[in-house]
A and B are shown apart, each in its own frame.
Chain A
Amino acid sequence: ELKVEQNPLFLSMQEGKNYTIYCNYSTTSDRLYWYRQDPGKSLESLFVLLSNGAVKQEGRLMASLDTKARLSTLHITAAVHDLSATYFCAVDKISNFGNEKLTFGTGTRLTIIP
């Protein structure tokens, strides 16, 4: 059974600082996603990582994937308040029925303090 673990679960950081969220998964996968969720809102896709060594950047966020270590990271550079949200990683694997199936981590609740 595929398991996805994120850490930390909660992260409070000051504006301007850098930090990294980690996502470990237990079996090989096809793709890895990072999502953002604001309170009471749905999931917003941030990144899709397809292959070993993939790195994607958008603004102050950068995601990377190491398929050998089964590890993805989401790095936040010079955090600003509007990055406060819950961040989920999700691993996409083809099920026994032939459909892709996302397995999510428990999420990292990020609070940026002014």
Chain B
Amino acid sequence: GAGVSQSPRYKVAKRGQDVALRCDPISGHVSLFWYQQALGQGPEFLTYFQNEAQLDKSGLPSDRFFAERPEGSVSTLKIQRTQQEDSAVYLCASSLHRSYEQYFGPGTRLTVT
């Protein structure tokens, strides 16, 4: 079956531009997570959704980062006024429900110039 998909796979943005990154979780998965992976580092948690509810946004680094999942399926991570330090791979993961294993998408590599 289809896994987690993300688009675009690569994004180059000029500093100050807004970007939107999309995640399509596995069908029927209730839980959805976003992670940020800087070069040479492990992924770091950004935010968590249970269906359409954003229950944990404790990892979002600033108020320029915003995530939504309006219908409890597809999610979008938006970064406003991008900065160079936002350059990273953004990973999305989904799980069937709480406490079930997370399945990761291929990631979106964001480069801010």
Contacts and interface: CB of A to CB of B under 8 A. Distances in A.
Interface of A: 4, 30, 33, 41-43, 45, 48, 88, 90, 95-107
B1 interface: no
Contacts, number: 55
A106 B45 contact: no
Contacts of A96: 58
Contacts of A43: 43, 91, 104
B99 interface: yes
Interface string B23-55: 000000001010100001111110010100001
Interface of B: 31, 33, 35, 40-45, 48, 50, 55-56, 58, 91, 98-99, 101-107
Nearest to B59: A101
